[in-house]
Amino acid sequence: MSALKNSVQKLFYYPSAVFGLFVVFLLVLLAIYAMLKIPYSEAIRLWRGGEDVWYQNPKFAAPAWINYFSSEKYAESFAVKTDDGSLSSEFTPGAEGTGTLVANHIFDFNYDTYPQDMILYFTSEFAEKQPFVSLEWLTPDGRIVRIANMAISRQFTYRFAQDEKLKARLKTDDIIASLFSDPETGSPIKGQYQLLLTGTTFEPGSLINAEFVFHGQVYGLAGTDHARRDLIVPLLWGAPIALAFGLIASLGSSVLTMIIAAVGTWYSGWVDELIQRITEINLVLPFLSILIMIGTFYSRSLWVILGATIALSIFTGAIKGFRSIFLQVKESMYIEAARAYGASGPRIVFLYLIPRMIPLLIPGLVSSVPAFVFLEASLALLGLGDPVLPTWGKIIQDANSNGALYRGYYYWILEPTVLLMFTGLGFAMLGFALDRIFNPKLRDA
Amino acid sequence: MNATPNKLLQIEKLELHFKTRAGAVQAVDGVDFELDSNRAVVILGESGCGKSSLAKAMLRLLPRNVDKYEGKVFLQGAEVMAFDEEEFRKNVRWLGISLVPQAAMNALNPVIRVGEQVAEPAVIHLGLSKAESMSLVHKMFQHVGVPLDFVDRYPFELSGGMRQRVALAMALVTSPNLIVLDEPTSALDLLTQANIMNVLKRIKHELGTSFILITHDIATSSELADEVAIMYAGQIVETGHARDFFPAPLHPYSQMLMASVPRLRSDSDPMFITGQPPSLINPPKGCRFAARCPFRFEKCDEEPPMFGKNGRKVKCWLHA
């Protein structure tokens, strides 16, 4: 124990180890936060959700914080509704069972770009007579634009941009631009806009609920993808999945490799021969092609791929490396002494050979974590990602298949990439420092 | 010769040959040997004469290049050469015979605390729990004179002498009847050597253990020895009681070996034996020492048998 404590203390002499530990620590925090903030089932529901889940979000929206770095300010998205009072409304009963609903939403618009879209979702309750709604648009320069008058059914969606009558009245093809710009100059007017909604019901008990969705150009912390999904979900959830995949694959394959190498070396003879021949065959088998075949013909589940990865990573060159060291250790006096006092084969393998190797195992184990994290991302990019789980690789695949880079959606590629790079950097730096501490050949005098 | 039950150890025509590219090395070539309980025998001989191989052959600790491994070994009347590997491991190693290996200070697992290390044989063979074995370890540490608070140390935290004692404690922990000590004091300073010898004497006295002490250190070994066996070129050339042997060795090789020990305050130079021991790959036909022997005569071209005389045995035509 004191030796382990000693090694951990030594870690802090190396700035790279401190940095690596810090990054790994942050990733672990991120993973824990993700799992607490968005439970697994919720994450899957959100990731697999379509328009019905994500209708409030714009498509291809960059993260909101790019406004801090851009001279041109992009419109931020929002959504308000009468249900929860975020869209303020007042209902006044009138004569003979009629009623009037007045809802208005005043918001600041200080951006240089127009929003993608504006949509009103209505739900209403009535027996026979449909409620009636009229919409007005108040601009900062004092104009009042009449938008539409319409009877609304139980479920009714009004899309500003697609109203042909409004297009004719405003004499424009781009309603959204025309609503936010000066009719003379055509440039956006900044200031307070107001949407005024006046509804009339004609029956007692008849109700109108409205939701105003403003699809801006930017959204939230991470932006959205082609399916309006908030990228924060896969970015957060990618962390525990990447860490689990990387750590399990790395730990599983290196520990099994070491045990098999130790068993082969100790028992020698045909056991060793068999292990060596399997290794040599496995070394010439195309790793990625086999994974692609498994993904195509059998299952793309992350856990199946993880199992296959571990199985294929056991009999690799590492087994030869371990074997060469075990062959040396096997000849040491204390092993012969252990044989002399009657220690059985398994006891020698697990209590005498393997503990000697653990210091050499740890650095390699830590440094191989990013390789497996990248492997998962690469498989996702090849279309072999888990169909259910939100991972960093899946984001890159979606971005790639939607042409994110040449359409200028850099955030979409860069966010998961930066996280992948940090994961790699953190584990690599920690691994290098551990190697220096545990590998006697690299130990500082 | 059949097994005599009252003998602790009987070895008959034990042979251990190693395969090498140049041919078979006859490291142990027809060794006969007997030992009673509570006796210490010292096997003396120069480097490369097969002493350590004899120890390994007794415990069946064979390397991979064994060419021939034959003979009979009776341990308390039981023919252990007939045991299979697993039986041998369970019954002979450490329950019958313990070994303190050559350079015993390196014989400790560097990643196990010495307390646990000493307990290992007891855990393996007696199936003791950790707590039970620890009290045994404490007892063993007292026997060999290791401070009890050393149980939690790692081997590298101990001095060479202490490690030697720990290795000895490990050999004692299953209370075997016979302990083979392969050069137990070779790497230690004189004071520590004396100390270890005293420990061995006390253990022999208190526990009634028998020892086979393999060494080339004649002076130190004479402290403990009840009997002496001289080994030359894979064979035992002389055996006898220590009190008879040390004043008057019979075999010319034994005589010259004894003469090579430097004497205190004497003007005479220590003797040395000219020439080299014969190659064990292709040993000479007759007496193996003939080539270096000053008393050589015609008979020496034939291999001499063991001649018995007053409880002493010697493999030399001079004593026919």
Domain A72-215 - what CATH class?
Answer: mainly beta
Question: To the nearest whole angstrom, how far is the Cα of A376 from the nearest Cα of chain B?
Answer: 37
For helices A232-267 and A302-314, what crossing angle results, to 10°? 30
% of chain B surpassing 90 pLDDT:
8
Question: For the residues of B60-128, what is the DSSP string, one character each?
Answer: T---TTEEEEEEEEEETTEEGGGS-HHHHHHHTBTTTEEEE-TTGGG-S-TTS-HHHHHHHHHHHHH--
Does B103 contact A at CB distance below 8 Å?
yes
Residue B5 class from Cβ within 10 Å (0-12 exposed, 13-18 middle, 19+ buried)?
Answer: exposed
Dist. CA B162–CA B150, nearest whole Å? 9
pLDDT exceeds 50 at position A59: yes
CA distances from A243 to A110, A379, A387, B100 (A): 41, 16, 18, 49
CATH 2.60.120 intervals, chain A: 72-215
Inter-chain contact A344–B167, Cβ cutoff 8 Å? no
pLDDT at B5: 62
pLDDT in tens, B242-290: 888 888 899 999 988 888 887 777 777 777 888 888 888 888 888 888 8
Between the CA atoms of A121, A123, A129 and A131, what dihedral angle is there, to the nearest 10 degrees? -50
The size of the A-B interface in CB pairs under 8 A is 65
CATH 1.10.3720 intervals, chain A: 2-47+230-442
Tokens of B247: 């004043």
Q: Centre a 10 Å sphere on the Cβ of residue B31 and count the other Cβ atoms it contains.
A: 23
Mean pLDDT of A228-242: 92
A81 phi/psi in degrees, rounded to 5: -145, 160
pLDDT in tens, A210-222: 999 999 889 988 9
Mean pLDDT of A59-70: 89
Local structure of B320: helix, strand or coil: coil
pLDDT exceeds 70 at position B88: yes
pLDDT band at A445 (very low <50, low <70, confident <90, very high): very low
Q: Which of B80, B120, B125, B156 to mutate to test the interface with A (most CBs of A within 10 A)?
A: B120
pLDDT at A402: 92
Does B89 contact A at CB distance below 8 Å?
yes
Q: Centre a 10 Å sphere on the Cβ of residue B205 and count the other Cβ atoms it contains.
A: 10
CA distances from A325 to A263, A265, A267, A319 (A): 13, 10, 15, 10
pLDDT at B140: 87
Q: H helices then E strands: how many in chain A? A: 16, 9
Q: Where are the alpha helices (DSSP H) in B129-187?
A: 130-144, 160-172
Q: In this complex, which of B101, B124, B154 lies closest to A337 when CB atoms are compared?
A: B101
CA angle B83, B86, B89 (to 5 degrees): 85
Inter-chain contact B110–A341, Cβ cutoff 8 Å? no
Give the HSE-up count for residue A352: Cα atoms under 13 Å, Cβ half-sphere: 28
Q: Which residues in chain A touch residue B107, judged by CB atoms under 8 angstroms apart?
A: 333-334, 336-337
Question: To the nearest whole angstrom, how far is the Cα of B272 from the nearest Cα of chain A?
Answer: 32
Per CATH, domain B9-96+176-319 is 3.30.70.1290: no
pLDDT at A259: 94
Q: Which residues in chain A touch residue B121, judged by CB atoms under 8 angstroms apart?
A: 341-342
pLDDT at A275: 95
Pairing of strands B9-20, A155-159: unpaired
Q: Which CATH number fits domain A2-47+230-442: 1.10.20, 1.10.3470, 3.40.50, 1.10.3720?
A: 1.10.3720
Alpha carbon A52 to its chain's center: 20
Mean pLDDT of B163-174: 87
pLDDT in tens, A303-325: 999 999 999 999 998 899 999 99
Mean pLDDT of B291-309: 86
Does B113 contact A at CB distance below 8 Å?
no
Q: Centre a 10 Å sphere on the Cβ of residue B266 and count the other Cβ atoms it contains.
A: 8
pLDDT band at A440 (very low <50, low <70, confident <90, very high): low
Dist. CA B148–CA A220, nearest whole Å? 66
pLDDT in tens, A164-193: 888 888 888 888 888 898 888 888 888 899
Q: Which residues in chain B touch residue A344, judged by CB atoms under 8 angstroms apart?
A: 89, 124
